[in-house]
Chain A
Amino acid sequence: GNSVTQMEGPVTLSEEAFLTINCTYTATGYPSLFWYVQYPGEGLQLLLKATKADDKGSNKGFEATYRKETTSFHLEKGSVQVSDSAVYFCALSDPTGGYNKLIFGAGTRLAVHP
C-alpha cells in the first residue's frame, strides 16, 4: 500500500546550519506531497506542497522538490533558526481514494540551538 518514510529524529542543529529532512514515499499513481509542521502544543500547519513531478514547494525559507524518479520529497532550509524547532511531517495525498486520504510519515523532531 501507499506509505511515507521519514528520517528518524531528533535532528539537532546549531542556528544558521543547513537542514535536510529526508522523505521517501511509495504510491500508485500520482500523489500530491506535503510537509506539515507541528510546534509544541499546537496542531499541524501546512508548510509547503507539490502536486506533480518536478514541482518545488517553498515557504518561510523551506523548500522541497517532488522527485518522481527517486520517489522523494526532501525538506531543506539553508539557515535554520531557533524558532524552527518543531516536529516536521511528510505526507502524501492518496490518489487511489480520490485524494481523500492523507498518509503521514512518523514525523521528525528538529531542535535548533543558539
Chain B
Amino acid sequence: EAQVTQNPRYLITVTGKKLTVTCSQNMNHEYMSWYRQDPGLGLRQIYYSMNVEVTDKGDVPEGYKVSRKEKRNFPLILESPSPNQTSLYFCASRVQGKAYGYTFGSGTRLTVV
C-alpha cells in the first residue's frame, strides 16, 4: 500500500530533550515536506526537500532541523524542544510537478512540557 509512515503517533517530552520524528514513504516520491498544524492557523510548512541532500526552509523553520540522506526518509529533528513546539506534525510527499497533490502521513502529536 502506498503510504507515508510517521513515528511516533504520540509523544510527550520535556523542554530541551532532543527528539526525532521519523517519516518514510514507499512511493519513490522526490518531494517531501513537514508541516505543523495548530488550531485556527491551518497547516504551516516547516521544511521541504526536493530530493536527496536538497532541503530548504518553509515558513516556520526555527527550532527544527531535517536531513534527506535517502529518498524514502525525511526525519524531523528538534534539538532543544520548547513548549511552543507543542503541535500536530504531518509529513507529506508527492511527485514533482504542479499537478500533483500530497500524500500525508497520519500525524505525530507532540507535547512539550
State whether A107 and B42 are in contact (beta carbons under 8 Å apart), knowing that A46-B101, A102-B102 are contacts in the complex: yes
Is A32's CB within 8 Å of the partner chain B?
A: yes
A104 pairs with B43, CB closer than 8 A: yes
Is B12's CB within 8 Å of the partner chain A?
A: no
Is A99's CB within 8 Å of the partner chain B?
A: yes
Q: How far is the CA of A103 from the CA of B101 in the complex (A)?
A: 12
The distance from the CB of B4 to the nearest CB of chain A, in whole angstroms, is 8
A106 pairs with B107, CB closer than 8 A: no
* CB closest residue in chain B, given A30: B98
Q: How far is the CA of A103 from the CA of B48 in the complex (A)?
A: 13
B98 pairs with A43, CB closer than 8 A: no
Interface residues of A in 1-59 (CB under 8 A from B): 4, 32, 34, 36, 42-46, 49, 51
A102 pairs with B106, CB closer than 8 A: no
Q: Which residues of B contact A95 (CB under 8 A)?
A: 98
Interface residues of B in 24-77 (CB under 8 A from A): 31, 33, 35, 40-45, 48, 50, 56, 58-59
**Prevailing SS type, chain B contact patch:** strand
Q: How far is the CA of A14 from the CA of B92 in the complex (A)?
A: 33
Q: Which residues of B contact A44 (CB under 8 A)?
A: 43, 90, 92, 102, 104
B43 pairs with A100, CB closer than 8 A: no
Interface residues of A in 73-111 (CB under 8 A from B): 89, 93, 95, 99-107
- Cβ-neighbour of A100 out of B31, B44, B99 (below 8 A): B31
B90 pairs with A99, CB closer than 8 A: no
The distance from the CB of B68 to the nearest CB of chain A, in whole angstroms, is 13
Q: Which residues of A contact B81 (CB under 8 A)?
A: none
* CB closest residue in chain B, given A107: B42
The 7 lowest CB-CB distance pairs between A and B, nearest first, are A46-B101, A43-B104, A104-B42, A99-B98, A104-B43, A106-B42, A44-B104
Q: Which residues of A contact B (CB under 8 A)?
A: 4, 32, 34, 36, 42-46, 49, 51, 89, 93, 95, 99-107
